[in-house]
């Protein structure tokens, strides 16, 4: 059996760039499906122009107050999504005594509160067709942690935990829910933050000796979202080159 998403509808939050973009592209390359991506910017990313009629951009600021009503209105008159990928996420790095309370709230709102609410909204229509796949993008910092990551780790470990609850709530409806936890991935944002030397130092800490490629995350998401996955639910798939094993 081959992976094929012909005729399916896919939602990818935070799908305009980085890992989210690669996930969206992986679905587009795996069949004639329709993909809706969300992003914080009012302007759609230029790359979707290559997929006219197949990709729709939905501006959705998950840190704003009105996004839930906005999403519900967008979903109300649409057909059910077959796949929902909760990829959007943010981070802010501070030592605990200096961590701004408003930043803690924002990180938890985007990284944890939003995936729960979005999954609930999407699942209602999935239930009507008795089929669906939900994938939550967590992080290795939901499994391990390091200094200055208190809010981020809280959000990502919480997302892994709630993935199990979602799976239990939706199992009887043939809706499978899993998480994927990327390790250190080679994205433009990673390069901008770490620089060339920082990238080398980070790669040296990974047992496989390199950072992950965005495609290596996307392929896991595609599998979990596909018809090949018929019995795996409530799990967290760590894709990190062996980092958390040490």
CATH of the domain at 124: 3.40.50.720
Q: How many structural domains is the chain composed of? A: 1
Flag whether 202 is in a domain: no
Flag whether 172 is in a domain: yes
> Can you give the pTM of this predicted structure?
0.97
Flag whether 30 is in a domain: yes
Flag whether 203 is in a domain: no
Flag whether 80 is in a domain: yes
Percent of the chain with pLDDT over 70: 99
Domain limits for position 221? 9-181+214-236
Flag whether 188 is in a domain: no
> pLDDT category, 189, cuts 50, 70, 90?
confident
Classify 148 in phi/psi space as left (phi over 0), alpha (psi -120 to 50) or beta: left
CA angle 61, 126, 28 (to 5 degrees): 65
Distance of CA 98 to the CA centre of its chain: 28
Flag whether 191 is in a domain: no
The pLDDT of 9-28, averaged and rounded, is: 97
> pLDDT category, 125, cuts 50, 70, 90?
very high
> pLDDT category, 1, cuts 50, 70, 90?
low
What are the E-state strand segments in 19-106? 34-39, 55-59, 83-86
Which one is catalytic: 57, 131, 152, 231?
152
Flag whether 33 is in a domain: yes
Percent of the chain with pLDDT over 90: 93
pLDDT score recorded for residue 246: 83
Q: Is 57 a catalytic residue?
A: no
The pLDDT of 126-155, averaged and rounded, is: 97
Q: How many CB atoms lie within 10 A of CB 164?
A: 16
């Amino acid at each position: 059996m081959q992976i094929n998403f012909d005729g399916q509808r896919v939602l990818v939050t935070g799908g305009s760039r980085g890992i989210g973009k690669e996930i969206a592209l992986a679905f587009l390359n795996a069949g004639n499906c329709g993909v809706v991506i969300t992003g914080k910017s009012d302007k759609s990313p230029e790359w979707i122009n290559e997929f006219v009629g197949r990709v729709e951009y939905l501006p959705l600021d998950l840190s704003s107050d009105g996004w839930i009503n906005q999403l519900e209105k967008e979903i109300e008159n649409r057909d059910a999504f077959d796949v929902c990928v909760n990829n959007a996420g943010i981070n802010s790095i501070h030592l605990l005594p200096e961590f701004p309370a408003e930043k803690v709230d924002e990180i938890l709102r985007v990284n944890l509160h939003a995936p729960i609410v979005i999954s609930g909204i999407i699942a209602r229509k999935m239930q009507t067709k008795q089929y669906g796949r939900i994938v939550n993008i967590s992080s290795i910092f939901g499994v391990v942690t390091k200094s200055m990551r208190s809010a981020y780790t809280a959000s990502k470990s919480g997302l892994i935990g709630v993935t199990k609850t979602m799976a239990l709530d939706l199992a009887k409806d043939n809706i499978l829910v899993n998480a994927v936890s990327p390790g250190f991935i080679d994205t433009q944002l990673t390069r901008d933050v770490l620089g060339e030397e920082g990238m080398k130092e980070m790669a040296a800490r990974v047992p496989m000796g390199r950072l992950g490629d965005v495609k290596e995350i996307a392929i896991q998401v595609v599998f979990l979202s596909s018809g090949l996955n018929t019995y795996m639910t409530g799990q967290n798939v760590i894709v990190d080159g062996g980092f958390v094993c040490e």
